[in-house]
A and B are shown apart, each in its own frame.
Chain A
Amino acid sequence: MFFFRGKTHKSAHRSNVTMRVATAVALVGYPAGAMIHLLFPDVTPEAGLTEGEIAGFALMGLSLLAFCVIAPSNLQRIVGEERKHLDEFEMDLRRKSYTFGYWVLCSLVALFAIYMALGADSDGDGMFTLWMPSTYDHWNAIFWGAMLYAVVLPTTYLAWAGPAPLDDEGDVITGEG
């Protein structure tokens, strides 16, 4: 799994709200951008980018920008850091987040396989025609989308269902006051 460890070897502390927004943007932005890009194909390449293509690229870029917020975060550290740098509670959170990511990714792959089967079956029988990935660009978009989901889904679980982070790191209880 992926985690960007900076020169200081410390993860960036992000609030729960920031992580929820970043994971939602990363997971929604990429497929939305790819769909828009697909719906508005570049029919005349010499005319430059169409509005649809620009909007599609913008959404995909936004998704990657959100990933840049996620990659060095404290939650991504739990998902991607080496085991020796995590304690038992963090390992417990990692197990839960991987389980969530595994089931969601499996479900998406299963749905995609069903869609492909229906698409292959319907081809040419006149009932209905489903769009099927055919070019290198289509499969490239699917591949990077799957990679993004594999990395971000466990972090999404931590951001949305994990325990709220504690802000203080060193409060001494004195019993005074």
Chain B
Amino acid sequence: MSVKIYNRIPLLRAERSLSRKALAEAVSVNYQTIGYLERGDYNPSLELALKLSAYFQVPVEQIFSLEPFPSLFGPSS
């Protein structure tokens, strides 16, 4: 893997109370693939990124980013 791509899949899953398996079935991949995506072990193809974007109904750049996402709670003190 050349570039690390950060993602908000765990956050979006938590918001919707979705299991990895349910999300995996929705986008037609193995549940382990969702886990590796979340862990940053794998960068998704454009097709999978767009499928996830369509499933969560958010723009793809709100799920994936080349830069770390800012914390929701601000900088830790």
Contact = CB atoms under 8 A, between A and B. Distances in A.
A165 B44 CA distance: 18
A170 interface: yes
B14 A88 contact: no
A174 B14 contact: yes
A89 B42 CA distance: 7
Interface string A127-158: 00000000000000000000000000000000
Main secondary structure of the interface of A (DSSP, over half): loop
A87 interface: yes
Contacts of A89: 29-30, 32-33, 36-37, 42
Contacts of B10: 173
A175 to B, nearest CB: 5
Nearest to B48: A88
Nearest to B45: A88
A13 B30 CA distance: 14
A125 interface: no
A169 B10 CA distance: 14
Given A87-B28, A87-B33, A175 B44 contact: no
B21 A90 contact: no
B29 A88 contact: yes
B19 interface: yes
Which of the listed residues B22, B29, B35, B45 has the most CB atoms from chain A within 10 Å of its own CB? B35
B71 interface: no
Interface string B22-54: 100000111111011101011011011000000
A90 B20 CA distance: 16
Contacts of A172: 13-14, 17-19
18 contacts: A88-B44, A89-B32, A163-B42, A166-B31, A166-B32, A166-B36, A168-B20, A168-B35, A169-B19, A170-B20, A171-B20, A172-B14, A172-B17, A173-B10, A173-B13, A173-B14, A174-B14, A175-B14
Interface of A: 86-90, 92, 163, 165-166, 168-175
What are the 10 closest A-B residue pairs judged by CB atoms, nearest first? A173-B14, A170-B19, A87-B29, A166-B35, A89-B33, A170-B21, A172-B19, A169-B31, A163-B41, A175-B14
